[in-house]
Amino acid sequence: MLFAKYLLLSFMVVQVQGYLHQFQPFLFVNINETAKIQCSSAKQFLAGGVTAQWYRRREGEAPMLIKSCSDNQNVNKVACISEGHNLTLAIYNAQRNDSGVYYCTDSYIIFLTFGNGSTLIVGDSYTTSSWVLPLAPSPHGLLSPGTADLACVVHGVSNPVQISWSISGDLQEQGLTRSLKAKDGSLVFINHISVPVATWTSGKIFTCDVKFNSSGKSVKKIARYIEAPASECSHYIGPLVAGAALLLLVVSLSLVWTLCPSTLGFKPRISASPASEEHQGGILYAHLDFDSWNRNRRTMQRPARGKSVKL
């Protein structure tokens, strides 16, 4: 049911832009001020705008009827002001929850026609979690001639924001904006534009300009085309390859010298193990010659010149 309402609203907006026109794409007001949203018609509104109505659409909600200009209900909050071809919706003492996209409508024959919409932003949409990020195609992403797609992401805002693009100082169209609702209730807006690849790669500066409130200040983020770094690093490839080859050669020669020195024409000096030592299975055995030790002992015990030697 909700999808059907959105579809019907979109169809009507496309059909009647030449009939009803709202020339305020964005309208900023401070809290407690009066917001005046204007609509013009190709034909005069009936006396008092009796066939005119105003709808409001918030993010994630279906369009809601705010004011029928034929009734006098809630005139202290909202009122219709009809003057010939112009119709104005006045919202007194505006609050944050009055923010949204407002559409003027009028009955034409048997159809209810809609204007192109005006976005009302009351107060400041900026929060402590707000940030702006431009997204641009990489050099490797431009695989074929045609268009380059850029996007500006505005995260963590409480109400709609105004997003615009400029190319080297020249203001461009607003682009197409999509919205998402985060789990914490904050809003995410993604504004998308397409430009010719030649324009994107020309070195011009693309600026995403986001306005959060009526102060006139905005957050600007810049994106520009940067050529692939392969050409800048190509002159380093030769020395790097030569250095790697030399290092590999040194390591190889070191291994050959350590493991197989005879391969390089050298014969290592092998020192003979002492005769009294044998290596078996990593265990060292020492042979003790007790017979020789006893013979030497008897020799030393022989008397010299008739004197006995005592050990």
What's the CATH code, domain 131-223? Answer: 2.60.40.10
Lowest mean pLDDT among 53-57, 159-163, 290-294: 290-294
User: What single string gives the DSSP state of each residue in 190-201?
Assistant: EEEEEEEHHHHT
**Which phi and psi (to 5°) does residue 14 adopt?**
-65, -35
Q: Which residue has the higher pLDDT, 1 or 307?
A: 1
Q: Which residue has the higher pLDDT, 195 or 48?
A: 195
User: In CATH, which of 2.30.130.30, 3.40.30.10, 2.60.40.10, 3.40.109.10 is domain 2-122?
Assistant: 2.60.40.10
Global confidence as pTM: 0.65
Lowest mean pLDDT among 26-30, 116-120, 294-298: 294-298
Domain with CATH 2.60.40.10 in the chain: 2-122, 131-223
Q: Are strands 206-211 and 162-167 parallel, antiparallel or unpaired?
A: antiparallel
272-284: pLDDT as tens digits: 444 444 444 444 4
The pLDDT value recorded for residue 212 is 96
Residue 191 has pLDDT above 70, yes or no: yes
234-278: pLDDT as tens digits: 555 555 555 555 555 555 556 555 555 554 454 444 444 444 444
Express as a percent the part of the chain with pLDDT over 70: 63
38 neighbors 52 (Cβ within 8 angstroms): no
